[in-house]
Structure 1
């Protein structure tokens, strides 16, 4: 084989390999929790302001992200996200209680000098999928039935901020894993718990922000927190 032809063949193969690599689709999934450490997150725990040696509210144990429940506070992503589908797998490690996932989080400690401005998707045992308005608001069908009298609605201290979910009984027994999906597209938010559609809201006053998980009194384990970007034009189907 002549040398010029050999060089030409090598060049063709090199180019083909590069094109093949470029054409490989990138994994669209963002693994917010990597299973090893808390890279990409930061904690906001008011009790640590005066005592930096305060026991950590969020740790990684046996490849699980664990919210210890106390001291109370939030674990917040460093990055801001919009138009996505969030997949969360969680379970109460012991006594069931309270926790939540916050979407569209922004100003820290905007409510009760603790909660960041956000829209909370409740994970409290028996109430998974409720919305809690934290200095942001959202509209749902049957607002009066699910939120109470309109004159009491609000997004700050002392107001009716809770919006009941659509179903009961979607959670698995304590100790078993639950799968929560939160889909945020433009100003709409939909929530599923173990494949049941448990809430749907629209006209949310925020469309982007950080994502946070709570330490709110109960130990909760997370084995998956994944985010998949969604095109804004994706239709919302009920």
Structure 2
């Protein structure tokens, strides 16, 4: 390798290192700054502490009302990482015994608040974690075929890689140049491309079974 090639290689490595250091924490482990709460029963930011709380450096969701936390900022190309676990402690009030939740992304800024707004959901559900759910007419191409638009369209995962209830899982979503990759505990579980949305907010859902979130980070990718 000549000096010019060595310089280029070192420069590329340095660029990748800098990019890797630009990871941003979306949750400060102290409060819900940077997010707003919505509940189907009470609306935006009303009685949020009935469902959403922060303790031990994690977000805890439980209670009788379904809802979500929505990020104030929007993102396009990124790597999103979230730790989650089902909270099986029976002292926490729950709306349902069905383990069902999700992390949504690319929720457009002009979308009104409702329990399942427009966007793409990384489904967190017992025996279905990693499914795509395309909401409110969103479309994408999977295995060379575009899904039919609908209110809620599911595309099944490739494999079940979720840990037992009560253990922490790591989900990752990579959105880059129109390609979406969903990863669970280090394994690719779903892929899509050419989505009809390509920028929007991040959303953490509570659908009735207590769930905890922590270590929520995002790394912006260059176009």
The interval holding the TM-score normalised by the smaller chain is 0.7 to 0.9
Structure 2 counterpart of 1:124:
125
Cα distance change of structure 1 residues 199 and 43 upon mapping to structure 2, 3 Å threshold: same
- After superposition, the CA RMSD in angstroms is 2.3
In the TM superposition, what is the alpha-carbon distance from 1:57 to its structure 2 partner? 2.0
Structure 1 counterpart of 2:157:
165
Normalised by the length of structure 2, the TM-score is 0.79
Alignment partners' CA distance in 2, 1:184 and 1:133: 15
Alignment partners' CA distance in 1, 2:132 and 2:150: 12
Larger relative strand fraction: 2
Question: Which of residues 82, 102, 105 in structure 2 aligns to 1:103?
Answer: 105
In the TM superposition, what is the alpha-carbon distance from 1:44 to its structure 2 partner? 1.7
Structure 2 counterpart of 1:193:
184
Alignment partners' CA distance in 2, 1:50 and 1:220: 20
In the TM superposition, what is the alpha-carbon distance from 1:53 to its structure 2 partner? 4.2
Gaps of 5+ in 2: 1-17, 89-96
- Partner deviation per Cα, 1:32-55 (whole Å, 9 max, x = no partner): 011111000001213114994475
- Higher Cα Rg: structure 1 or 2? 1
Cα distance change of structure 1 residues 54 and 121 upon mapping to structure 2, 3 Å threshold: closer
- Residue 210 (structure 2) pairs with residue 222 (structure 1): no
In the TM superposition, what is the alpha-carbon distance from 1:185 to its structure 2 partner? 1.3
- Partner deviation per Cα, 1:184-208 (whole Å, 9 max, x = no partner): 1132210110111000000101111
CA contact (8 A) 2:36 2:44 kept: no
Structure 2 counterpart of 1:206:
197
Normalised by the length of structure 1, the TM-score is 0.75
CA contact (8 A) 1:41 1:77 kept: yes
In the TM superposition, what is the alpha-carbon distance from 1:230 to its structure 2 partner? 1.2
- Partner deviation per Cα, 1:217-236 (whole Å, 9 max, x = no partner): 1111112110011122xxxx
Gaps of 5+ in 1: 1-24, 148-152, 233-238
Larger relative helix fraction: 1
In the TM superposition, what is the alpha-carbon distance from 1:142 to its structure 2 partner? 6.5
Alignment partners' CA distance in 1, 2:198 and 2:135: 14
Cα distance change of structure 1 residues 50 and 30 upon mapping to structure 2, 3 Å threshold: closer
Alignment partners' CA distance in 2, 1:225 and 1:116: 21
